[in-house]
Amino acid sequence: MVKRVAVILAGCGVFDGTEINEACAVLVHLSRAGAEVKMFAPNVDQMDVVNHCEGNPQTEKRNVLLESARIARGKVTDLAKLDVDAFDVLIIPGGFGVAKNLSDWATKGKDFSVKPEVEKVIKSFHKAGKPIAMCCISPVLAAKVLPGCEVTVGHDCESEKWPSAGTAKTLCEMGCKHVNKDVTEAHVDTKNKLVTTSAFMCNAPLHEVFDGVGVMVTEVLKLI
């Protein structure tokens, strides 16, 4: 059986969209697994546009769907058109676009909300008993939409390797169970059919992030 996977993108670029390396890792591992993939993104303006050389916000406006097309090689569809019945799995890579364009985590922290059409898709996959995978910062979406779920964003003790460990503590404050995992590992919440991995929440070499995303993809496809 060919596994049909929906991937949600949030723009193009780590500071204001989807983290490109993570998206590519997801797509490579799905390709190797023989999955049929279709990419989606919300047809909305980005929260901001960031100069990726200097890290500074710019005055221009960019559209999340149009920017996501850069990763999807043009083959991306408006998220509003995603039909849950047509897919077996949902995957959401990370990047600041998750915190800015799929939610407002970037400005509100644990008091954030998930964009309605993104929340609707996540809830629909979960209600249908279909597995979901998220990496990097994306698990915060599950923490909000699926209360009490189990996730990993890496480790909960801050260090040079884990500079964003505070996120794990915040997820616990939201009522989730955080499970410490290394960057090459993934956590499987069997009850919620949710698979997560830290990816670039860890200060790790690219190949280790790639391998961790591969474990996430392998584990989520097993849940179909």
Active site residues: 136
CB atoms within 10 A of CB 128: 13
CA distance 131 to 118: 16
Q: Which residues of 29-43 are buried (b: 16+ CB within 10 A; e: fewer)?
A: bbeeeebebbbbbbb
Q: List, in sequence order, the alpha helices (H) in 64-222.
A: 64-68, 96-100, 105-108, 116-127, 139-145, 166-173, 206-222
Measured distance CA(66)–CA(45) in Å, rounded:
9
**Separation CA 159–CA 191 (nearest Å):** 31
Name the token pair of 11. Answer: 């723009």
CA distance 198 to 111: 22
